[in-house]
Every structure is written in structure tokens, then in C-alpha cells.
Structure 1
Amino acid sequence: MTRNKQEHEKKEIDENLLYGHHAVKEALLSGRVNKLFFVEESRGKSLDELKRIAREKKVPVKFISKQKMDSLTNGAVHQNVLVSTQPFEYLELEELLAKTDKEQAFLIVLDSLTDPHNFGSILRTSDAAGVDGVIIPKHRAVGVTPTVVKTSTGAIEHVPIARVTNLTQAMKQLKEQGYWVFGTDMKGVPYQKWQTKGKIALIIGNEGKGMSQGLKKEVDEMITIPMSETSHVQSLNASVAASLLIYEVYRNRMNG
């Protein structure tokens, strides 16, 4: 076996391991768990609950040493529980659009985000505020990893995610389906004046570079988050900015 093939297989195994109580519970309930692992002699009501769900779902349970679990999770906080899962199933864009065919659909588009913590946090906020789906690119961007799943605290199982080859082409398809596409930029309409009615898609740019130039050409309007004149930073963290804007849409729609 070549070194590249070994590294690829290791990456696939790593991406199909989830840990932490919330992530494991949601994965069990979703029905995509192959095997459940506990640290030997671990105890607690939360672990008993996971064992019960595993029995109901007919998921095999195995006990391993803490040293082994630490090794499998690369020393992450695993809460003495780990599952091996089937690969995460992304939707095709057409499938996502079919799921979100309604007058007030709201999609989040992540333009080459690379930090799994940002991705997981955005999924968590999206689930809390009723976002209908998330679109990510297949290349040069973070996908669904154990860190994303754990950071999302289970939201990954409830927010549909489509992965596309070309984000620019995807935005063209959204427009054909009646979506208004909004981007985020230092110069634009203050988010408090954002018209959020109808079908909308909000693009969140890369942590360092922001939105790609090609994608900016597909934007109907840029939205900005005003900052203090004394601010020493040029932009907010991607997940913080996304959360603020997502809840602005939620607030507007709750108020009619």
C-alpha cells in the first residue's frame, strides 16, 4: 500500500469517528452509527442513556481503554464515548432546493471556510434560528469532521448540507429559483437596514480572505456590520458575524 493511500484511508477513518455525548447521541438517533465505544468502567446517567439508545437501534457496544480512546481522538475531550459512523451524506444542490421550496427559505453559503470550529458554530446557530440549509464547496474548504460535529452539539444531524463543485454556478441556480443572494463586506448596507423578505441566501466569506472575487459578481447586495471608529480590527470572526446576521433574519421574520 502506498503512503498516499495509507494517509487517505486514515483520513476516512478519522472523519467517521465522532465523540462527545451530544454528538454521539444525535448520531445514534439519526441511525448512522456502526458501533458505540465506551471507556472501560465509565459510569453516569448520560452514558446509560446512550447505551439505551444503542440497544433500541441495535448498535453494537464495545469497551476500550482510556488510553486507546485518547489515541483514537488525538487527545480531544471525548467524555468517555466514541462512535464509528457511516460517512456523512451531503445533499446535491437540487436535493437541498427541493427540501427548501417555500416562500421564506433561508440558506447560508460558506465560501471556503477552513476552521472546523467556525463551521460547527455556524451550524449550531443555523439550527437554533431555523436556517433551512447550508451550502459549502467541495474543494479548499472544511467539510464535516469530528470537530465540526462536536462543535455543532448535534445540529449537524438537523441542518441539511449541500456540497457543490462550483459556488458561483450554485448561486446562479439559486437565482433561477427566485433567491436573492447577499454577501458580507466592509462596504455595504448596514445589516439593520437589510431587507430579508422572500427567499434569501447569505454568503459568509473565508476567515482571512473574505469572499472570492468571482462570487462577488453574483451578489445582489452587500451587507455590512458597522464597527466602532476606535476599533483595532477590520472584521469579526466568521462564526460571530454569521450568528449576528442569521439572528437579524430571525428577528425580522419573527416580527413579521
Structure 2
Amino acid sequence: MAKGDRKRAMRGRAGRMQGGRGSGRASAGQVRLWGRHAVEAALKNPERQHRKLWATREGIESLDGELPPDFPVEYADGHDLARLVARDAPHQGLVLECAALEDVFLADVIGDPERPILVLDQVTDPHNVGAILRSAAAFDAAAIVTQDRHAPPESGTLAKSASGALEIVPWVRVVNLARALEELAEAGYWRIGLAGEAEATLAEAMPAGPVVLVLGAEGEGMRHNIAAHCDALAKLPISDAMESLNVSNAAAIALYAAATRSAPGADC
């Protein structure tokens, strides 16, 4: 079905907008996503169970691919959609309510020596975690790992920042981050913690084999116990004019270093 045909077929199915008061909160057990990249990626993800799509007609036309003919769509204007999402969130004419992703376990992501695993210690800002997911997808990381109690929940804000990567990169939530690092070491991974006070640079500490990159929250950095579970600490060689980088920027640079370490002529 062409986009124009799809638009005409769904034209008569608009109804009154229901739910939402600018909080972005979904029904119990559901997640509400917004923005073209986040919604489109979720619609294409066979692991997602979708409940309903609210959309402007322009939003529907912007999607890449076809919706099933019986997919529940409710048309609305942009002002109505704004009531369904977080305040001032750029919904781009698309709001999707769907089930949260199924749990992923550490054993599921261990095994590919070429793909790094990213461990985040108490990185709680959903914008940062979303941006890190986007970089993880760009540089083909195997997964991100967080402690369940000290990480943001799956949400529309996070998914919008991830720009579709939430559907691509496995996200492992664990009870005990130190124990997860022990399991990764037992599986043959070399664990590098990024720390500004380290003597070695990341390039100097980077191994040829499987690697885990560990990043702490901005300001506090890694907790002492997490740093103690790293095989090495390393820093990014940034200018003295800047004290530190945003954690999502640091993650992107570290993932690039891991991705290029075996490339001919690479510094890493």
C-alpha cells in the first residue's frame, strides 16, 4: 500500500483524544514513545508489542514502511499530541504506546570479542543514556549494562535521545554491577574504567581482545568499588583548558577508540 493509499484508508478512523496531560506517562505496563526515529524504530522492532499510535497525518506520511491495515491509529493535531508527551517534547506528529522491552541478561550479550560492552555506573540522566545508546548503535557495541536501581527507566525522553537505538542495542539491567563486572572478567573481557585522574590514556590501555568500557556519572565518576573491579583505569587525552567531557561524549569517544583499535594506521 502506497503512503497516499494508506492515508486514505485510515482517514475515517480518527476519534477523540484520550489520556495524557503533558506528563508522557503511559498506561500501566506500557511505555509511551514519541518522535519519528523513536517511533519508527519501535514499529519496526518485532520484539515490541504495540498498543496504539496517535499521529498527525503528516506524521504518518513521514514513516518509512507500511503499517498493518488493522493497526490502531488515532489521528489528532499537534496540540492534542502535546498533551500525551512530556512538556515541550518534540513529538513530530507521532506518539506510540507499546509494551516495555523484554529483559536482556548478561549471558545473552557475552561472546563477540570484536564488540565492546559499555557499563554505566549511576548514569541517571535519560538524555545521557539515550545519547550513549545512540553512540553504542553507531559503533556496534554489544550492549550497555546498568544497575537497575541507579539508571533511568525506559521512557519517551530516553528513546527520543537515542533516536531509534533503544530498539537496536541490548540494555542489560543488573542488581549488582560489581558482580556483573566479575562475570565479564570470567568471560575473558578486559575492563577499562574511564577516570580523569588515570596515568594511562585510553589508547595505551586498550587491549586487542574483548573489552568492557566503564563510565561513571558526571561529577562523581565511578564509585570506588566499581573502579576496584576494573583491570585498568584510563583517561581521554583532552586539553587542560577543559576539565572533563559530558559522559555521553566520553562514551562516544571511547567507543570510537574501541572500534578503530584494529584498523590499519589507527592510533588506538
TM-score range, shorter chain: 0.7 to 0.9
1:35: which partner in 2?
A: 52
Separation in 2 of the partners of 1:145 and 1:241? 23
Which stretch of structure 1 is more off in the superposition, 68-77 or 14-23? 14-23
Matched, 1:249 2:253: no
Q: In 2, are the aligned partners of 1:15 and 1:145 still within 8 Å (CA)? A: no
**Which of the numbers 30, 39, 56 marks the counterpart of 1:24?**
39
Q: How does 1:82-101 map to 2 (within 5 A)?
A: 82-97=95-110, 101=111
1:201: which partner in 2?
A: 212
TM-score (norm 1): 0.85
Taking a change above 3 Å as real, the CA distance of residues 109 and 248 of structure 1, as seen in their structure-2 partners, is same
Q: In 2, are the aligned partners of 1:54 and 1:61 still within 8 Å (CA)? A: no
Separation in 2 of the partners of 1:102 and 1:51? 31
Matched, 1:72 2:87: no
The structure with more helix, counted as a fraction of residues: 1
Q: In 1, are the aligned partners of 2:113 and 2:211 still within 8 Å (CA)? A: no
Deviation at 1:94, TM superposition (A): 2.1
1:113-132 Cα offsets, whole Å, 9 max, x none, are 01111111111111111111
Taking a change above 3 Å as real, the CA distance of residues 90 and 83 of structure 1, as seen in their structure-2 partners, is same
Separation in 2 of the partners of 1:65 and 1:244? 40
Separation in 1 of the partners of 2:172 and 2:38? 20
Taking a change above 3 Å as real, the CA distance of residues 12 and 37 of structure 1, as seen in their structure-2 partners, is closer
Deviation at 1:76, TM superposition (A): 0.8
1:177: which partner in 2?
A: 187
Q: How does 1:207-218 map to 2 (within 5 A)?
A: 207-218=218-229
Q: How does 1:36-185 map to 2 (within 5 A)?
A: 36-39=53-56, 42-43=57-58, 47-48=60-61, 50=63, 53-55=66-68, 58-74=70-86, 75-97=88-110, 101-185=111-195
- AA partner of residue 47 (structure 1): I
How many residue pairs are counted as aligned between the two chains? Answer: 237
Q: In 2, are the aligned partners of 1:112 and 1:142 still within 8 Å (CA)? A: no
2:15: which partner in 1?
A: none
Deviation at 1:15, TM superposition (A): 6.4
Which stretch of structure 1 is more off in the superposition, 47-56 or 180-189? 47-56
Separation in 2 of the partners of 1:73 and 1:15? 14
- AA partner of residue 247 (structure 1): Y
Matched, 1:186 2:196: yes
Deviation at 1:234, TM superposition (A): 2.5
1:71-107 Cα offsets, whole Å, 9 max, x none, are 111331101111101112230222222xxx1332310
- AA partner of residue 254 (structure 2): L
Structure 1: which 5+ residue stretches go unaligned? 1-9
Q: CA RMSD in A?
A: 2.1
Calculate percent identity across the aligned residue pairs. Answer: 29
Which stretch of structure 1 is more off in the superposition, 190-199 or 180-189? 190-199
Separation in 2 of the partners of 1:22 and 1:103? 30
TM-score (norm 2): 0.81
Q: In 2, are the aligned partners of 1:168 and 1:218 still within 8 Å (CA)? A: yes
Q: Secondary structure at the match of 1:54?
A: coil
Separation in 2 of the partners of 1:181 and 1:63? 49
Separation in 2 of the partners of 1:128 and 1:204? 18
- AA partner of residue 206 (structure 2): Q
1:220-247 Cα offsets, whole Å, 9 max, x none, are 0001012333x2x421110111111110
Which stretch of structure 1 is more off in the superposition, 26-35 or 159-168? 26-35
1:6: which partner in 2?
A: none
Taking a change above 3 Å as real, the CA distance of residues 81 and 221 of structure 1, as seen in their structure-2 partners, is same
1:108-147 Cα offsets, whole Å, 9 max, x none, are 0011101111111111111111111110110022132211
- AA partner of residue 196 (structure 1): P
Structure 2: which 5+ residue stretches go unaligned? 1-24
Matched, 1:235 2:244: yes
**Which of the numbers 215, 233, 238 marks the counterpart of 1:222?**
233
